[in-house]
Structure 1
Amino acid sequence: GDYVLMGGEVAALAVLEATARLIPGVIGDPESHRRDSFVRGLLDHPHYTRPPEFRGLRVPEVLLSGNHPEVDRWRRQEALRKTLAVRPELVREARLGPLEVAWLAEMDREG
């Protein structure tokens, strides 16, 4: 990531964890590393917790719906939206599928 460290210890741990995640059996779901946000080159989607409203901020209804395909769609769209807003240069290099390219065009039209 884009940050400065005072020593090499944290960097070494980051490399160790990133590498260890790829070893079969290290993480519970063998497919989860394929869903990590950085695999596609985008920032992660926003994360929420309980309660569904906190200090006037509400969790988006789709995340409370239980509709897993819609939740996944929302997460993918929001990751793209966040990356476009904060690190647009990453979008140019990201591995986007046809659906994400269409979302990107729609976001561009929305302004």
Structure 2
Amino acid sequence: MMMNDLPRMQVLITTNEQHIEGELLLPENMRFSNSIPDNMLFYILNGGFQFITLKNCEVKDRKNLAFRPDKSPQLHVNISCIMTMQIIEILPDDYEYEDYYDEEDEEDNENQPNQQRPKSRTNRRR
């Protein structure tokens, strides 16, 4: 499940109180011809957006790094709080998010006749 056709990247964001590391999800309307990572960071931070979304995040307390980091599947960060943002790693094009594998597991479980699971609310409405 590719989010859009732009390269994805692992970033480290520093705010006044936290270090946040996660996979940057780029907005769908960020389609431009010069999509190199440095340009993408510039457009994200100066493109008029109010929030950015990170997936599979690890949030560390900046003042006391001895605390265990919090983990979050998705986090929205206000751009006005960001002090620094740096690229840690460019993720490959064929990289898939974890929820893609969860969907495959659900499909495999549905195909097995021995297991009966209650249907979700959306399936009952159909």
- TM above 0.5, one fold? no
Which structure has the highest helix share of the two? 1
Normalising by structure 2, we get a TM-score of 0.20
Which structure has the highest strand share of the two? 2
Higher relative contact order (CA 8 A, sep 6+): 2
